[in-house]
Amino acid sequence: MTVDERFERIEHVPAALAEERRKDREEYRQLWRDNQRQIDDLGRKIADTNAAITRLAVETEEKINRLAEESREQDRRLGERIDALVSAIGVFLAKQNPT
C-alpha cells in the first residue's frame, strides 16, 4: 500500500466520524424536542387535572353544605313534630286523669 493510498483511507475515517457525529447531534436535538413536547403536554394535563380537582372540590363543598342545611331543616321539623307529639300526649293524659 502506498503512502497516498494510506492518506486516502485515513481521510475517510475523520470524514465518516464527523458525519456520524453530525447525525448523532441531530438525533439528540430531535430527542430533546420530543422530550420538551412531552413535558409541555404533561404540564398541560397536570394543569387540566388541577382545574378539574378544584372544580370538583367546590362542587362537593356546595353539595355538602346543601345537604347539611337540608339535614338541619329536617332535624328542626322532626323536633317540632316530637314537641307536638309530647304536648298531645300530655294533653291526652291530663284528660284521662283529671285532678
Give 56's pLDDT tier (boundaries 50, 70, 90).
very high
Q: What's the whole-model pTM score?
A: 0.57
Average pLDDT rounded to a whole number, residues 26-50: 98
Which pLDDT value is given to residue 91? 92
Element of type H or E holding 1: none
Query: Cα Rg for the chain, rounded, in angstroms?
Result: 42
Q: What percent of the chain has pLDDT over 70?
A: 88
* Separation of alpha carbons 43 and 36, rounded Å: 10
* Separation of alpha carbons 94 and 87, rounded Å: 10
State pLDDT tens for residues 44-53. Answer: 999 999 999 9
Q: What percent of the chain has pLDDT over 90?
A: 73
Which pLDDT value is given to residue 7? 63
Q: Which of 68, 89, 91, 71 is nearest to 79 (CA)?
A: 71
Which pLDDT value is given to residue 99? 61
Which pLDDT value is given to residue 79? 97
Give 14's pLDDT tier (boundaries 50, 70, 90).
confident
